[in-house]
Amino acid sequence: MNERDIIQYITNLAPNRGEGVVQGIGDDCAVIGKDGNSVWLLTMDTLVEKVHFDRKWHPPELLGRKSISVNVSDVAAMGGKPLFVLLSVGLPQSFDKEWFSAFSEGIAQGCRDYGCILIGGDTVCSPGGYSFTVTVIGEIEKEHVLYRSNASPGDEIWVSGWLGHAAAGLEIFSRGIDIGGQQFQPLLNAHLNPEARTQLGLELGRCGVVSSMMDLSDGLATDLAHLCKRSKVKGEIFADRLPLSAPLSRAADILDLSPAMLAVNGGEDYELLFTAPPDAAVTVEQIGQACVLDLYRVGRIRQGSGVVLLTADEQNNVREQKIAYGGFDHFGSDIT
């Protein structure tokens, strides 16, 4: 079973409806009724040593902040505001107290940065390394919630920020190489200390022109495939529109990797992926400018299913490459 199979198996066991449940499994957050106007957004994520982080290169204070950021990103992906945090900590019997103290400072800093309050959690002894599970509770007006399931043929596909930075940073760290120079610091920072796009998410939720949205945690190929499956549409990505930074391209040359494949398959960007009709482009661009973020139109929604990458050769012949679910999978990823 791969990760999608496991999620589907659990989904099949869960009841489809329940009192107060607006949206259960299938989006970045569960949506629970709060009152006549607002809903709660609930999300949870786990970071496991040697799977999501390596203490050899990940400073504990940045890991603490990242633990908050990756969960807050889910709330931002539905247009909401994060409010409360629950933290579960798994530590070895003889854990490094100084390391954990610095990690806790990072948790506190992340909560301050995103305006959240840590309200509780759990601590357990772990037989095999460090692990951290964070739950974030947010809220949003019911009419402004953005789901994955409302993309329509004709919509354009947008992403915020550069793609592939975190994947390149992780590759540099995991290979243990020193490629030198401050030019590659954005790649390392993207892995160590990602920034959740909270303000952008709020504005896109409020603007009324965005049809669907989610965050980029497992890679553009996989996350867009999730969105397209929920919306019952096909996604087309134009290779020449992928936002590839100069540092990414230079690092990819040194690493002997394709910058486009890092952008398409690489995970943990925590940028926002969203769709909107073509006539909404001016509104979307104005929101990006107000949030001091570059937003990129990278593709389009069509009738059909799956996700493809469109690449044109020198004669303008277009090659269609299937890339659905090409990103990270905990139980059998086939990243290329």
Local confidence band at 78 (pLDDT 50, 70, 90 cut-offs)? very high
> Average pLDDT in the 125-151 region?
96
At 61, give phi and psi (nearest 5°).
-65, -35
Nearest alpha-carbon partner for 137 in 87, 204, 86, 194: 86
pLDDT tens for each residue of 241-250: 999 999 999 9
Q: What is the pLDDT of residue 327?
A: 57
Question: Of 134-138, 214-218, 292-296, 311-315, which gets the smallest average pLDDT?
Answer: 311-315
| Domains and their CATH numbers in the chain | 3-144 (3.30.1330.10), 156-322 (3.90.650.10)
Q: Which two tokens stand for residue 177?
A: 């190489």
Local confidence band at 216 (pLDDT 50, 70, 90 cut-offs)? very high
- Tokens 């087309």 found at: 236
Residue 277's Cβ-count burial label (10 Å; 0-12, 13-18, 19+) is middle
Q: What is the pLDDT of residue 328?
A: 52
pTM of the model: 0.92
pLDDT tens for each residue of 189-198: 999 999 999 9
Q: What is the pLDDT of residue 179?
A: 75
- Bigger pLDDT: 10 vs 208: 208
Reply yes or no on whether the pLDDT at 104 is more than 60.
Answer: yes
CA dihedral 85, 328, 221, 296 (to 10 degrees): 50
Pairing of strands 234-238, 306-312: parallel
Tell me how far apart the 2 most distant CA atoms of the chain are, in Å. 63
